[in-house]
Amino acid sequence: MPGSGLPVWALYVITVAIWGSSWYGIKEQLGVVAPTVSLAYRFCLAAAILWLFCAVTRRSLRFPPSAHRWMALQALCLFCGNYILFYYAGFHVVSGLLALCFSTIPLMNVLNASLFLRQPVDRGVIVPSLVSLAGLVLVFLPEFMDKGLGSAPLIGFVLSMLATFLASLGNVLSVKLKQVNVPVMQANAWGMTYGALFCAGFAVLSGAAFNYDPRTSFTVSLVLLAVFASVIGFGTYLTLVQRIGAGRAAFSSVLFPLVALSISTVLEDHHWTPLAGAGVVLVLSGNLILLLRRSPAPQLQKGPAQ
């Protein structure tokens, strides 16, 4: 697994740096190529790398049809639907706000674990969850007040939250894959393969052209997203999970929005109001409190939609 020989602090730095900066890479994918087509390219490349990795390390990729059904369903949520929604949300808000919305996935995990895994909801998560949601409202409130409820910021917010919910469903399905004995790397190899096929299928159904953006920034961001965000990022994060557990590894979700928001401020010329700044503090504080609480088993595998 990528990064297996690195110390914990290095794994944290790599994970946060990759997933914090990859949100801006998503913005570079928007424009000439339809999001569904761009994602098909991205996951095709990422899947090829993972298949090669599994072949070199002699990891078996043969699983029964029942396991493939769960992998395909997970791919539809985690490597297709949520990415498509995030890419379209990127047309409406800066990349840092996409990352901030995604940082609420611990709350989504709690809700979906209760709905689909019958795990009891810890009442202690209610207050920090409400704090995070209130913070998100404060972040977007200046945009809503300035441009109205039918504006691009509202569309971006709704799409981002729906994308986060789908990503969380993918996390719930990762528990099922563990139960049917599908290792993470092989699940990702098949998942990204199915994800590429699903994205290509949605592109065909929507009539999108399978064209290519000749800009250097498009090619560079495509390769970086496939290699770093989709392959190395998952590798270093999952190595953290193995070393220190999913609960402590999940603290990266508090840190990478700070990287993404900093990039948006510098490269996307995003101007912050005091109200929005206070909202960011509330979102990150709520998530931190939520993650500091002892999580009930089984813990959900959580990986950003990068």
Residue 135 forms part of a structural domain: yes
pLDDT at 52: 96
Residue 212 forms part of a structural domain: yes
Model confidence at 289, in pLDDT bands (50, 70, 90)?
confident
Q: What are the tens digits of pLDDT across the range 199-233?
A: 999 999 999 999 999 999 999 999 999 999 888 88
Q: What are the tens digits of pLDDT across the range 67-112?
A: 999 999 999 998 999 999 999 999 988 888 888 888 787 778 778 8
More confidently predicted of 206 and 249: 206
Kindly write down the DSSP assignment for every residue of the chain, as one continuous string.
-TTTTS-HHHHHHHHHHHHHHHHHHHHHT-SSS-HHHHHHHHHHHHHHHHHHHHHHTT------HHHHHHHHHHHHIIIIIHHHHHHHHTTTS-HHHHHHHHTTHHHHHHHHHHHHS-PPPPGGGHHHHHHHHHHHHHHHHHHHHHH-TTSHHHHHHHHHHHHHHHHHHHHHHHHHHHHTT--HHHHHHHHHHHHHHHHHHHHHHHT--------HHHHHHHHHIIIIIIIIHHHHHHHHHHHH-HHHHTTHHHHHHHHHHHHHHHHS-PPPPHHHHHHHHHHHHHHHHHHHSPPPSSPPP-----
Residue 222 forms part of a structural domain: yes
Residue 220 forms part of a structural domain: yes
Residue 304 forms part of a structural domain: no
In total, how many domains does the chain have?
1
pLDDT at 84: 96
Q: Hey, which of 116-125, 211-220, 247-256 has the most confident mean pLDDT?
A: 211-220
Q: What are the tens digits of pLDDT across the range 189-199?
A: 999 999 999 99
Residue 297 forms part of a structural domain: no
Instruction: Tell me which residue range forms the domain holding 114.
Output: 8-292
